[in-house]
Amino acid sequence: MGPIAAYWPVIALIVSLLTGHEAAGQSRLVRSLSGPSGKVVGSDFVLDESRSRFVYPQDRSLTVYFEWEWAPGDHVLVASWRRPDGRVASVSPDVKIQSASTRLTAYWVFEVVPTLPSGTWTVEVRIDGQPAGSHAFELAGLEGEKFTLDRVSKTFAASMVRVHKLDATGREIDVNSGFVIGPNAVAGSFGDIDGADGLDLEFADGRRVKSTSVLAFSRLDDWAIIGADTASVPPMPRGDSTKVPIGGRLALFDVQNDARVVAPVDVGAVTAVGGYAPRIFLSPAPSPEAFGGPVIDEQGTVVGIVGGSFTPGVRITGLYRMARDTIMSSTVAGTATALSAVPASWPPPGKTLADLKAANAMTPVVSPMAEIHGGGLSTVVPKDILARPNNVSEVSAAHDPAISAYLYVAKVAKLSKGVVMARLVDAANVVRTESPSKKVSLQTAEQQLVFTFPPRGMAPGYYRIDVYWDEHVVWRAYFKVKE
């Protein structure tokens, strides 16, 4: 893939106003400073370090601080950010403040993204429409209009995370991708956490952190924010997913032969299917291990999270894949959830994986059985076991009288009997109905188990059928109900 064309993004601005109680003379700018970060101490803002040169990607943001002597009263502050060529890149919203003193201070946080031009930038402030001073700073290490796959790799590889899902015994049941989206926050798909009792986060430098913290999530929109110690790992910058063009080219971190590689993908569509947040349809489809990773746009910012499943729980774990390929009849599309569905912040304290399980937000984990030789979904299942049904993935609520899950089972080892039943569950993980339980005695000859549900009256959308053996989910399939 060649260079990715780019244009400057809207710059994120954050403003905070502080007032003191010192006497002062005429209205004037007392001082302006810049630094990589700072904090409010009492009624003052203190920069952690004062400098005017910032190098990307070591510096992902910078803070500019102003202090004035100004007449008390009601004031409106506006900051304009000028590029090295003098053009205005962004203007902050009006900030209104009522000051009772003659000391007025303010600071703005400037987010640095890789497609901004290098050079000397200037922030100009107006108070009540009058010029109130400016501050210049230098940005370096940026490529302006060029963003290549090599640049994606060098810039963002350090912010990638491998998310190892653990069961209650600490055994690994799956591996997905994630990325640092903020301080002590790792973004991924809902599949990164679904069904897990614990998480083992592996950072690019080899550091591993255990976590059960979920800061925010959406089951239906397939995203999650995991709480974990991200140390000094820089977060990836957020982009504007509403500007992703159909036919455009994006980039993502795929996994091939257990190695993480940067891959180009084309945008086939950006659309919102009823009840879901917008999805970005990608071609070619990434590997399952890439789910949870970032989709990076032409500006070098994150616009989506790989996954975007319409059927939560569809992610097949590595443990399950090793059992038998034919057990689960489902497909995973090459989609991503648009980042517009993910909030830019989330209130503390968040939840734990155990909280999500207790609230029925998690999909039950499938425990594979060697005794299940295959199965599927059909609208008609012949009684003759030798007459194999025609599999379907969609049914009509108005015209199809039934949807049936069928399984072929036979005795393999010591297991000889059990109690089986099936549940029809919607995408929100709500059980809509279930079959009666029945006792089954396994034989060496193959038997057929059938569980039938009428789709009439079901709202359009995605559903699944879970088959239980002695209270454990042993098989699962998904289908779509059409009007």
Residue 269 CB: number of other CB atoms within 10 A?
13
Give the chain's largest Cα–Cα span.
Answer: 98
Tens of pLDDT, residue by residue over 60-96, are 899 999 999 999 999 999 999 999 999 998 898 888 8
pLDDT digits (tens, 9 = 90+) for 245-294: 999 999 999 988 888 999 999 999 999 887 899 999 999 999 888 999 99
Q: Does residue 18 register a pLDDT over 60?
A: no
Residue 258's pLDDT is what?
Answer: 81
In terms of DSSP bridges, do strands 172-182 and 185-188 run parallel, antiparallel, or are they unpaired? antiparallel
Structural tokens at position 132:
């109130």
The DSSP code for 368 is -
Q: What is the pLDDT of residue 56?
A: 86
Predicted confidence at residue 379, as pLDDT, reads: 95
Question: What per-residue confidence (pLDDT) applies to 324?
Answer: 43
From first CA to last CA, the distance across the chain in angstroms is: 42
Mean pLDDT of 390-413: 94
pLDDT band at residue 22 using 50, 70 and 90 as cut-offs:
very low
Name residue 186's amino acid.
Answer: V
Residue ranges of domains in the chain, CATH in brackets: 7-145 (2.60.40.3880), 148-363 (2.40.10.120), 372-482 (2.60.40.10)
More confident residue, 323 or 41: 41
pLDDT of residue 325: 40
132: left (phi over 0), alpha (psi -120 to 50) or beta: alpha
Of the listed ranges 17-31, 64-78, 93-107, 163-177, the one predicted with least confidence: 17-31
Cβ atoms < 10 Å from Cβ of 290: 25
Q: Do 366 and 453 contact (CB within 8 A), yes or no?
A: no
- As a residue count, the chain comes to 483
Under the banding of pLDDT at 50, 70 and 90, the label for residue 178 is very high
The pLDDT tens digits of the residues spanning 190-235 come to 999 999 999 999 999 999 999 999 999 999 999 999 999 999 999 9
Measured in degrees and rounded to the nearest 5, phi and psi for residue 322 equal: -70, -20
pLDDT of residue 143: 65
Asked if residue 386 has pLDDT above 90, the reply is no
146 — pLDDT class (breaks 50, 70, 90):
low
Quote the mean pLDDT of the chain.
88
> Bigger pLDDT: 6 or 419?
419
- Indicate the pLDDT class of residue 98, thresholds 50, 70 and 90: confident
Predicted local confidence at residue 144, as pLDDT: 61
277: nearest Cα among 241, 323, 324: 241
**Cβ atoms of residues 141 and 57 within 8 Å:** yes
At 23, list the tokens: 């006497």
Q: Looking up tokens 């989609």, which residue turns up? A: 335
Q: Tell me what pLDDT residue 315 has.
A: 66
- Strand segments (E) across 100-207: 103-111, 119-127, 130-140, 146-147, 160-166, 172-182, 185-188, 198-203
Dist CA 106 CA 92 (whole Å): 13
Distance, CA of 155 to CA of 6 (rounded, Å): 16
Q: Which of 232, 325, 242, 266 is nearest to 36 (CA)?
A: 232
Residue keyed to tokens 């090793």: 322
**Rounded CA separation 355/339 (Å):** 25
Spatial distance between the Cα atoms of 320 and 330, rounded to a whole number of angstroms:
13
Whole-number pLDDT of residue 228:
97
| pLDDT surpassing 50 at residue 23 | no
Burial 22-46 (b: 16+ CB within 10 A, else e): eebeeeebeebbbbbebeeeeeebe
H, E, C per residue of 390-441 = CCCCEEECCCCCCEEEEEEECCCCCCCEEEEEEEEEECCCCEEEECCCEEEE
pLDDT of residue 111: 86
CA distances from 450 to 252, 337, 453, 465 (A): 42, 35, 10, 12
CA–CA separation, 364 vs 423, rounded Å?
12
**Mean pLDDT on 339-346:** 94
In the prediction, which pLDDT does 150 show? Answer: 87
Cis peptide bond upstream of 401, omega within 30: no
More confident residue, 238 or 328: 238
Write the single-letter amino acid at 79.
A
Give the per-residue pLDDT at 113: 81
Query: In the structure encoding, which two tokens stand for residue 71, read together?
Result: 């007449």
DSSP H helical segments within 277-431, as ranges? 318-323, 353-358
8 pLDDT higher than 50: no
